[in-house]
Amino acid sequence: MVMSAVDVKRFGRTGVLMGGTSAERDVSLRSGAAVLRALTAAGVDAVGIDLQDDWAAQLRAASIDTAFIALHGTLGEDGCVQGLLEIMGIPYTGSRVMASALCMNKRLCKQVLDQAGLTTPVEIRIAEGGPERYPVFIKPVAEGSSIGLHYVESVEAWQQLDLDADMQWIAEMPVKGVEIAVSVLAGEALMPVEVAPKSGVYDYTSKYTAGATAYFCPARLPAETLRYCMEQAEKAVAAAGCSGAPRVDMIVGSGGEAAILEINTIPGMTETSLLPKAAAAAGIDFQQLCLRILATAGLDYGQEGKR
């Protein structure tokens, strides 16, 4: 779908929100810069906004009509900036406040998915002396991009960890299988992308270092398994109330069963990111992808904002 000049103009002045103050600031700046280039090339009146100190003041000064959120992590992906934009009457891309907050909290999202009949990894209780069993994956309850992800095989390894005491942590039983990511664009799942990190663990370094991970789209799975995973991703997104272009990460076992790891409401848009790879496999180039995401701004927002 290529939008006409009239379609593009209806967005008005579009602010690409990037940067922020989370641990994922650098990735967000890369995502935002790529989106800004694409929207500008498509004829959108777009401006990049690196949110740092007084976000409300920066948004007012930019005088935008629509917001394309390319923020990752705390404050940008957890419902905070979404709430601010709603107060200011600015339609925005991505999931709304409640869905954003839910998916940013891995434990709460896990509970919602479990109640919806979807499979997630088994959570292991963290006692005073560490997890009740090993090996486990340890990760922050509310961070993205695999920030703080640790694979812990023993008590000794646990004791060597220097975990931030101010953060909440969750431990999960490892799931063996093929790791895939299924992006859901405007409610429809794209072809799953298989990720095969050379290190064996798809952590922050594997995600954002060129050449550190091999990608396959479609994933190297039977056709019926691919369809099943796409259906599971659509169900997960619906259960969490997500909108825009969320990405569902999962691991597919040898029997074809899929365990959902998490839902990322604002996937990366960098050169190594998975959503653009899935879109390209569907014949949607990066510019078209950005326009399609932008077109979702305000669709379930309840108002037309300042447009």
Residue 265: predicted pLDDT: 96
Question: Is residue 193 over pLDDT 50?
Answer: yes
- Give catalytic status of residue 145 as yes or no: yes
Residue 146 lies inside a defined structural domain of this protein: yes
Q: Please tell me whether residues 116 and 51 are part of one structural domain.
A: no
In a domain? residue 302: no
Which range, of 137-146, 235-244, 284-293, averages the lowest pLDDT? 137-146
Q: 24, 77, 143, 179: which one is catalytic?
A: 24
Above 80 in pLDDT, residue 123? Answer: yes
Q: What pLDDT, on the 0 to 100 scale, is given for residue 214?
A: 93
pLDDT of 6 reads: 40
With a cut of 90, say whether residue 287 has pLDDT above it: yes
Reply yes or no on whether 146 is catalytic.
Answer: no
Say if residue 161 is in the same domain as residue 264. no
What is the pLDDT at residue 23? 85
Q: Let me know whether 67 and 208 are in one domain.
A: no
Note whether residue 55 is domain-resident.
Answer: yes
Do 27 and 52 sit in the same domain of this protein? Answer: yes
CA distance 148 to 210: 20
pLDDT one-digit tens code per residue, 20-30 = 999 889 999 99
294 Rama sector, left if φ>0, alpha if ψ -120 to 50, beta otherwise: alpha
Average pLDDT over residues 218-231: 97
264 annotated ligand-binding residue: yes
CATH of the domain at 33: 3.40.50.20
Are both 210 and 107 inside the same structural domain? Answer: yes
Range of the domain at 84: 5-94+290-295
Residue 231 labeled ligand binder: no
In the predicted structure, residue 301 carries a pLDDT above the cut 60: no
> Average pLDDT, stretch 174-195?
96
Could you say which of 100, 145, 146, 243 is catalytic? 145
* 225 in the same domain as 85: no
Q: How confident is the model at residue 12 (pLDDT cuts 50, 70, 90)?
A: very high
- Residue 114 labelled as part of a binding site: no
- If asked whether residues 257 and 200 sit together in one domain, one would say yes
Where does the pLDDT of residue 305 fall: very low under 50, low under 70, confident under 90, or very high at 90 and above?
A: very low
Q: What is the mean pLDDT of the chain?
A: 91
pLDDT at residue 300, as a whole number: 59
Asked if residue 306 belongs to a domain, the reply is: no
Please indicate, yes or no, whether residues 111 and 22 belong to a single structural domain of this protein.
no
Q: What pLDDT does residue 145 have?
A: 53
Q: Are residues 58 and 109 in the same domain?
A: no
**Shared domain check, 111 and 50:** no
Give Cβ neighbours of residue 4 (< 8 Å, ≥ 6 apart): none
Q: Are residues 11 and 78 in the same domain?
A: yes
Q: Is the pLDDT of residue 5 over 90?
A: no
Q: Is 162 inside a domain boundary?
A: yes
Does residue 307 register a pLDDT over 60? no
**How big is the CA angle at 94 (ends 213 and 30), to the nearest 5 degrees?**
45
Does a structural domain hold residue 305? no
Number of domains forming the structure of the chain: 3
Residue 301 lies in a domain: no
Instruction: Specify if 300 maps to a domain.
Output: no
The residue among 128 and 42 whose pLDDT is bigger is: 42
* % pLDDT > 90, the chain: 79
Same domain, 11 and 155: no
